[in-house]
Structure 1
Amino acid sequence: MHTVGGIGRQIAYWRTRRGLTQAEFARLMGRSVRWVEDVEAGHRQADPRLSVLARAAVVLHIGIDRLLPPEPNREGVDHDPLAAVRVALRRADLAPTAGAPVEPPDLGVLRRELAYGWTAYAAADYLCLDRVVPPMLVGIGAASVGEGAADPLAPMVVRAGALTLAAAAAHVFGDADLAWRAADRAVTAAGRSGDAVVLARAADRLTAAMVGHEGAGAAAEFALEVEADLAAALGPCGAAGRAALRTLRLGAALATARLGDRSGTRDLLDAAERIDPGAIQVPLYRVTAHVLLGEYGRAVDGRLDPTALAVLPRGRQARHLIDLARALAALGRRGEAVTALLDAEVAAAQEIRCRPINRTFVQEILRLDSSVDGDEARLRALAARCAGKGSTRSERAWIM
């Protein structure tokens, strides 16, 4: 447990750094000056609620981890990279208590935090998400109950985005239950927002989560149902609408590939390509689908050339290279597979080190017989680096 005095000192330190008086900070927190004085002196909140800390983090424009004194290292116990996200979804105090004098947070600040979170996700900077996501979830809980806003649906758009990002983070670290719960709540919030593009993105994340929670068949059926329901609404949304439709079809394609349905997968991939011919996402998904279907030669043949790959976000580059490594290893081309894995690590190290499925793959390929000098040493070094970023969560085999 963190000491209250330590938390109070951190709040006082960051309040001062931001140039806020206790009265100004109290107003932004929706509290009294006496409350701020007591918190900073360590006289209140023997066990501070997550909502209080997250609200303070939003007001002070810092990650929630900055308010927590470091806990001593416990040898042999891995850091849980989703601890705060898990608590934020579980706690009933995500929204302020009825009647509590809490000023809704600045939606502009929350939007910027959300944009930063998605930028970090695209770059496979996954380890920062545990401090970025929880303050957004708690902060938007306050915003969503505000009355008289110029755009009353705007908080739901941000809430849906924050929950979708939480689901994506849970997926990375292999927590199937958390991914499903966050994605399900994201779809609910997105539906209330009235924004078809936001709903399609949340539904795509729920499709991926359903694979590990309810099975690939249910996931594919859900994605196609949502696509049919939203097609008319997404049509007038231009490029964003086309991208959302394409993403839903691609998600359904990967779920169908998991069922071993080659013709169904091919039809869905072709349909996605017809939405936006030339879009780079379709070739990427084709390679992943070939791996899922055991068509390893086709996966290797479909690899993107370095120039095309270089324009993608680093996380997506790494995932494509890992797909290729799986195909190459299955074909017995271990040396090339190791090179692809090391290239993926260069592109986005956390893509390999944080995802349980990828760390497990490194261990699996390590056990294969080596016929190329130097592979063993390179692979063992990679395995050692992966071990340094261990996760306590399930090693479930997800690719989506």
Structure 2
Amino acid sequence: MQTAPGIGRRIAYWRTRRGLTQSEFARLMGRSVRWVEDVEAGHRQADPRVSMLAEAALVLHIGIDRLLPAAPDREARHHDPLAAVRAALRRADTALAGGTTEPPVDLGVLRRELTYGWTAYAAADYGCLDRVVSSVLEATAGAGATTRASPAESAADSAESAGSTAPAVAVVRSAALALASAVAHVYGEPALAWRAADRAVTSAGRSADVVVLARAAHRLTGAMVGHEGAGAAVEFALGAEADLAPALGARGRPGRAALRTLRLGAALAAARLGDRPATRDLLEGAERADPGAIQVRLHRVTAHVLLGEYARAIAGRFTPAALAVLPRGRQARHLIDLARALAAVGRRSEAVGALLEAEAVAAQEVRCRPMNRRFVQEILRLDSSTDGDESRLRALAARCAGNGSSGPERAWIM
């Protein structure tokens, strides 16, 4: 079987760009020179595991997307950007309980894949996440999954008993399922987002780590909004907070951050219900849990938009310097919140400017989310007689048009 020639060529190209010989690259990869020669010549497996590509990308100091094969239909209207995730979840649902024929799990490699995946998500680089998530889910699918240590971890892990690896696998799987839920939400798939988040909570429970469980519960809170409604989401989040707060308080900084995140998710769900007192209390509780966290300021602006408090949202806008320290995806989401508030108060030209700035920062954040594409169309329908932004806005709408999706999303301008 042969690898896709393009992948081998890209590895060879970036290896040369980095000034590495095949021998040096082989040593850094922990492989033989023959292995490198075969990969670059296209003589390895037909569909290389993302874990191998993630290792190569790490060695070459590039994003894994630079190595993935081109997909001309990736942006096509009817292309399913979550096909591999759906397949991995179906496989997990139908797998027989007890034991697995999968090869041992290398937790070091899977953690690096997840680190790349969450970094790509934060940067709103969504196109590569289907393969990253599905690779980790496939690797951890077996009920009796075993692990093998990466070279860097072998000395530390050698003292652990075989049974102690199960919680570590559960942590990795929970993070992969949470990422699957997050990206499903991006593409407007509420049922898939809920399904993955629900399984993330189950895996987190097996990890016996309260911080991991709180993070998974936060992801499920967000997924419940689109699947069961904001009321159910608030009820679940408040129950999770009551159950987990004492243990989180004992975990120091990570525990406080997890508690803050859980309360922020509840606050946005309450804001969707139009419950101003509950939203205010939850935001203040998040601030108390983790004083000075920039995430509270960001969520406060989003809550103002959801509550129709547009002047307050505009007043809470971040300066360019404050925005610059955030991941690109979070910058774009804040700018889109600002654009919604500006459009709602009739400042259409400024709203268009904020939208275009968001696209320049993180194009996929604007183009991939159905809710944001619909927002672009809604601004187009507003009166345009007093500004000259029509051509720029129509060009943005055309760029969004190739990213079709289904799934219910709340309209922002009535």
Whether contact under 8 Å (1:124, 1:350) holds in the other structure is: yes
Q: TM-score, normalised by structure 2?
A: 0.79
Work out whether 1:58 is the aligned partner of 2:71. no
Structure 2: gaps of 5 or more residues = 12-24, 36-42, 58-63, 148-161
Whether contact under 8 Å (2:7, 2:68) holds in the other structure is: no
**Counterpart amino acid of residue 2 in structure 2:** R
Q: TM-score, normalised by structure 1?
A: 0.82
> Relative to 1, partners in 2 of residues 1:141 and 1:12: Cα closer, same or farther, differing over 3 Å?
farther
**Counterpart amino acid of residue 277 in structure 1:** P
> Relative to 1, partners in 2 of residues 1:261 and 1:123: Cα closer, same or farther, differing over 3 Å?
same
Q: Which moved more, 1:308-317 or 1:96-105?
A: 96-105
The structure 1 residue matched to 2:400, chosen from 366, 380, 386, is: 386
The structure 2 residue matched to 1:273, chosen from 259, 276, 287, is: 287
What is the alpha-carbon distance in structure 1 between the residues aligned to residue 391 and residue 5 of structure 2? 50
Q: Aligned ranges for residues 110-121 of structure 1 at < 5 Å?
A: 110-121=110-121
Q: Which moved more, 1:259-268 or 1:109-118?
A: 259-268
> Relative to 1, partners in 2 of residues 1:66 and 1:286: Cα closer, same or farther, differing over 3 Å?
closer
Q: CA RMSD in A?
A: 3.4
> Relative to 1, partners in 2 of residues 1:68 and 1:286: Cα closer, same or farther, differing over 3 Å?
closer
Match of 1:396 in 2: 409
Q: Deviations over 1:13-67 (max 9, x none)?
A: 979989779xx9xxxxxxxxxxxx9x97x9xxxxxxxxxx68x443565899999
The structure 1 residue matched to 2:319, chosen from 296, 302, 305, is: 305
Match of 1:346 in 2: 360
> Relative to 1, partners in 2 of residues 1:173 and 1:300: Cα closer, same or farther, differing over 3 Å?
same
The structure 2 residue matched to 1:9, chosen from 2, 5, 11, is: 2
Please report how far the alpha carbon of residue 376 of structure 1 lies from its aligned counterpart in structure 2 after TM superposition. Answer: 0.3
The structure 1 residue matched to 2:273, chosen from 251, 255, 259, is: 259
Match of 2:206 in 1: 192
What is the alpha-carbon distance in structure 2 between the residues aligned to residue 66 and residue 336 of structure 1? 35
Match of 1:4 in 2: none
Whether contact under 8 Å (2:268, 2:302) holds in the other structure is: yes
Q: Aligned ranges for residues 183-262 of structure 1 at < 5 Å?
A: 183-262=197-276
The structure 1 residue matched to 2:303, chosen from 289, 296, 321, is: 289
**Counterpart amino acid of residue 223 in structure 2:** A
Please report how far the alpha carbon of residue 82 of structure 1 lies from its aligned counterpart in structure 2 after TM superposition. Answer: 0.9
Q: Which runs of 4+ in 1 moved over 4 A?
A: 11-21, 59-77, 92-101
Q: Secondary structure at the match of 1:91?
A: helix
Whether contact under 8 Å (1:212, 1:398) holds in the other structure is: no
Match of 2:82 in 1: 82
Q: Deviations over 1:213-240 (max 9, x none)?
A: 1110110111111111111111122211
> Relative to 1, partners in 2 of residues 1:72 and 1:239: Cα closer, same or farther, differing over 3 Å?
closer
Q: Deviations over 1:92-118 (max 9, x none)?
A: 488688666532121100000001000
Please report how far the alpha carbon of residue 10 of structure 1 lies from its aligned counterpart in structure 2 after TM superposition. Answer: 2.1
Q: Secondary structure at the match of 2:146?
A: coil
Q: Deviations over 1:139-163 (max 9, x none)?
A: 1224852282553310000000000
Q: Secondary structure at the match of 2:166?
A: coil
Q: Deviations over 1:324-380 (max 9, x none)?
A: 100100000000100110111111111000100000000110111113442101101
Match of 1:128 in 2: 128
Whether contact under 8 Å (1:190, 1:202) holds in the other structure is: yes
**Counterpart amino acid of residue 3 in structure 2:** Q
Q: Secondary structure at the match of 2:251?
A: helix
Whether contact under 8 Å (2:314, 2:338) holds in the other structure is: yes
Q: Aligned ranges for residues 13-162 of structure 1 at < 5 Å?
A: 56-58=49-51, 61=54, 77-92=77-92, 101-142=101-142, 145-146=145-146, 148=162, 150-162=164-176
> Relative to 1, partners in 2 of residues 1:398 and 1:109: Cα closer, same or farther, differing over 3 Å?
farther
Structure 1: gaps of 5 or more residues = 1-7, 25-36, 43-52
Whether contact under 8 Å (2:92, 2:141) holds in the other structure is: no
What is the alpha-carbon distance in structure 2 between the residues aligned to residue 337 and residue 296 of structure 1? 12
Whether contact under 8 Å (1:137, 1:162) holds in the other structure is: yes
Please report how far the alpha carbon of residue 274 of structure 1 lies from its aligned counterpart in structure 2 after TM superposition. Answer: 1.5
**Counterpart amino acid of residue 191 in structure 1:** G
